[in-house]
Amino acid sequence: MAAETLAQAGVKVIIYDRMPSLARKFLLAGRGGLNLTHSDPFELFTEKYGSAQGPLLPMLEAFPPSALIKWCEALGEETFVGTSGRVFPKSFKASPLLRRWLRRLESQGVEVRLRHALVGFDAHNKPIFQGPEGSPASVDADATILALGGASWPRLGSDGSWVDTLQGKGVTVAPLRAANCGFDVTWSPFMREKCAGQPLKNVALTFGRTRIRGEAMISTTGLEGSGVYALSGPIRDAIESQGFATLWFDLRPDMTQRELALRLLEAKTGQSTANVLRKAAGLTPAGAGLVREPGPLPKTADDLAKRIKGVPVQLTGVRPIARAISTAGGVTFGELDENLMVKRLPGVFAAGEMLDWEAPTGGYLLQACFATGRTAGRGALSYLGIFPE
């Protein structure tokens, strides 16, 4: 996005990428359907960025979801809004959009140098790259935009190795941490062996004062899934501060506790507990297993309904950042001016996931990456003394 912003203004642009091909993480994001952005009202949309809402707000205002949709459709990829409010290209894939985008960049004169890794800066803040052949060499660039990613899915290129490089220049970088990630649970052998790989659908999850509807996936090591990811920030913080966090599951969120208790009371006498949980409570085998995890099942219908409506699960650890969907932490906004230029490195800008912000899945991640890329591109134009209409 930064390259396109510059190229449209007539600037010569070269993209350096450490991988053998471009946009590998973008392609991974589209593996299950490319969720570009979200149809939330703008005020609600920006709330998803939490403490970073303030610095990101002007960038999102300058390039909001409506602008991203228009940009996508200008590339020939129509969009649609899914039932959850998420926005997707109609092809539901990243590859057609990427191919069209790269063709447009090529037509704008943008060059691409693959297998070139940033290894530092020279005394004049010029980037130094290590290419596939030869010794590291600096590039005499008038402006440099860094979009080096976080540290999740390092095999796709974003391994966080840039942190030491920038810290060596005195730039403050908040520690990179897993975001939109799974968590460890010390399951019983039954849950680990019989329920791993099974989803918990149409449930409500509560952590602290936040309750959301979603789903979770039981793994051999703990919990994954969209509902868990949506709460991962505060859960991660709690585990880091106190060593554990308790996540509460309401397995029948569409029923009151009283309604559920009445259904349990109406269960036929003589039925096995497994049948009562399956037929009267409507639980899947995974849900029934989860209800049993805290200990022996309550004897009365009221108490059993209470358990089903509030199953505590203790989370004991955060899954590795390499498997997280995204990354928290990064270059702090205090190190950047309003154009995303690194104050300690005049002429060097930063954008995307390498900045200190996080957001849930649902289109918020890509939207902010696009918006910050555009801001950095326009910031570089300003630095170069170019002011397009």
Task: Report pLDDT digits (tens) over 205-238.
Answer: 999 999 999 999 999 999 999 999 999 999 999 9
* 288-300: pLDDT as tens digits: 999 999 999 999 9
Q: Could you list the residue range(s) of the whole structural domain that residue 100 is in?
A: 2-178+326-383
The domain tally of the chain equals 2
Residue 246's φ and ψ, nearest 5 degrees, are: -110, 120
Last residue of a domain, one of 318, 335, 350: 318
Please check the confidence at residue 38 and state whether its pLDDT lies above 90. yes
Instruction: Name 331's bridge partners.
Output: 173, 355
Please check the confidence at residue 268 and state whether its pLDDT lies above 80. no
Last residue of a domain, one of 300, 318, 336: 318
How far, in Å, CA of 179 to CA of 317, rounded? 13
Tokens of 172: 């403050």
- If asked whether residues 143 and 229 sit together in one domain, one would say no
- If asked whether residues 311 and 187 sit together in one domain, one would say yes
- If asked whether residues 308 and 349 sit together in one domain, one would say no
- If asked whether residues 53 and 158 sit together in one domain, one would say yes
- If asked whether residues 168 and 219 sit together in one domain, one would say no
How far, in Å, CA of 358 to CA of 239, rounded? 17
Model confidence at 270, pLDDT cuts 50, 70, 90, reads confident
- If asked whether residues 7 and 153 sit together in one domain, one would say yes
The pLDDT value recorded for residue 66 is 98
pLDDT above 90 covers a percentage of the chain that reads: 95
Instruction: Output the average pLDDT for the chain.
Output: 96
Please check the confidence at residue 340 and state whether its pLDDT lies above 80. yes
- If asked whether residues 201 and 165 sit together in one domain, one would say no
The pLDDT value recorded for residue 317 is 98
Please check the confidence at residue 32 and state whether its pLDDT lies above 90. no
* 96-153: pLDDT as tens digits: 999 999 999 999 999 999 999 999 999 999 999 999 988 999 999 999 999 999 999 9
The pLDDT value recorded for residue 112 is 97
Listed as own residue / partner, the contacts of 124-129 with beta carbons closer than 8 Å and 24 or more positions apart are 125/345, 125/346, 125/347, 125/348, 127/16, 127/348, 129/16
- Which spans in 115-270 are helix H? 162-167, 189-190, 226-230, 232-242, 257-265
Three-state SS for 14-64 is EEEECCCCCCHHHHHHCCCCCCCEECCCHHHHHHCCHHHHHHHHHHHHHCC
- If asked whether residues 70 and 142 sit together in one domain, one would say yes
- If asked whether residues 80 and 167 sit together in one domain, one would say yes
The pLDDT value recorded for residue 79 is 97
Opening angle at CA 258, ends 254 and 263, nearest 5: 80
The pLDDT value recorded for residue 139 is 96
* 50-65: pLDDT as tens digits: 999 999 999 999 999 9
The pLDDT value recorded for residue 118 is 96
pTM: 0.93
CA neighbor of 147 nearest in space, from 388, 334, 377: 377
- If asked whether residues 292 and 174 sit together in one domain, one would say no
Model confidence at 18, pLDDT cuts 50, 70, 90, reads very high
How far, in Å, CA of 356 to CA of 364, rounded? 14
62: CATH: 3.50.50.60
Q: Looking at 182-301, which runs of residues are DSSP E strands?
A: 183-184, 199-207, 210-218, 222-224, 245-250
Evaluate whether residue 389 is within a structural domain.
no
The pLDDT value recorded for residue 171 is 98
How far, in Å, CA of 247 to CA of 259, rounded? 23
* 155-189: pLDDT as tens digits: 999 999 999 999 999 999 999 999 999 999 999 99
Please check the confidence at residue 384 and state whether its pLDDT lies above 80. yes
- If asked whether residues 300 and 362 sit together in one domain, one would say no
Last residue of a domain, one of 318, 344, 362: 318
How many other CB atoms are found less than 10 A from the CB of residue 120?
17
The pLDDT value recorded for residue 248 is 98
- If asked whether residues 143 and 219 sit together in one domain, one would say no
CA neighbor of 26 nearest in space, from 329, 386, 380, 366: 366
